Homo-oligomer: A and B are copies of this chain.
Amino acid sequence: MNIEPLTINKLTIIGVGLIGGSLARALKAKNLCRHVTGCSRNEDNLKKAVELGVIDSYSTDPAAAVTDADLVLLASPVSTYGGIFKAIQPALGAKTIITDAGSSKGSVVEAAKASLGDALPRFVPGHPIAGTEQSGVEASFAGLFQSHRVILTPLLETDAAATRVVSDMWRATGAEVILMNPEHHDSVLAATSHLPHLLAFALVDCLARKEEREEIFRYAAGGFADFTRIASSSPEMWHDICFANREHLLKVLLEFDAHLRDIEAAIRDGDSDKLLAIFTRAKSARDRFTDLRKLPAND
């Protein structure tokens, strides 16, 4: 892959948390960005980001923050995008490129179409498939995107040049960039990310309401720790994602629930062959997934 030289004079990051902070650190570490301005509703968070050297300046006003920016990244919860697009639209320069890091793309595209006006062709919707259960700028680090995938979902209207700049930016962080249709992204991510988070939150809350919860958590082992790690993720962010990608999430949730009831019936009815077949197929698919993660995608 041939990465074009990329220099961003001013990058504005709206929502300076794990993702926004890590992007700023990664670009600064490679001297690809001269100035980073942060924007957030929480001024204490912005001050902390300046102290940590993640951003160079800040404003709590989105319109002021994007003034003279070459590139604007939205990395706040997706429910805030509608208001932010409206607020920044009049202040965007004629060449400013806008992208985002939201975990759902359909609702983001809708909000952009409703509010970005003339700037819409310079909006490149994106989603870095990276993160930890940690959140906040303190958890950010330059290597977060290294060897991870970033999905971009440009629209028919999107300038190819804008897509290339955003793609170069992510590749400079060590990520592999993949293009996908927004609808398809939302369907795949509902299955692979949004449903698992929902199940982890649901299981931990279900067990926490039981009388024996102290013992349940005390006698849990590493398997439970791994399985529920994502239930330590930000409740606000995942609440937002569930609603933003509601249709796709409900679809795969219903499929899963039907499958679960089928398994429940197999256990109740003593259908040993069926249960063993399900577990065997699952192990084989999971082992194959481990292999797939190591391969480069060939899109």
Which residues of A are interface residues toward B (Cβ below 8 A)?
129-133, 148-149, 151, 178, 184, 187-189, 191-193, 195-208, 210, 212-236, 238-239, 242-243, 246, 249-250, 253-257, 259-261, 263-264, 267-268, 270, 272, 275-276, 278-283, 285-290, 292-293, 295, 297
- CB neighbours of A285 from chain B (8 A): 204-205, 207-208, 213, 217, 231
- CB neighbours of A221 from chain B (8 A): 129-131, 148-149, 192-193
Judging by beta carbons under 8 Å apart, are B191 and A283 in contact? no
Copies in the complex: 2
Residue of B nearest to A261 (CB): B257
Judging by beta carbons under 8 Å apart, are A282 and B149 in contact? no
Judging by beta carbons under 8 Å apart, are A200 and B227 in contact? yes
Nearest CB on B from A177, distance (A): 12
Residue of B nearest to A229 (CB): B226
A188-B219, A192-B217, A222-B132 known; A242 vs B275 contact (CB < 8 Å)? yes
Judging by beta carbons under 8 Å apart, are B229 and A215 in contact? no
- CB neighbours of A254 from chain B (8 A): 264
Q: How far is the CA of A207 from the CA of B194 in the complex (A)?
A: 13
Q: How far is the CA of A230 from the CA of B253 in the complex (A)?
A: 20
Judging by beta carbons under 8 Å apart, are B129 and A281 in contact? no
Judging by beta carbons under 8 Å apart, are B201 and A188 in contact? no
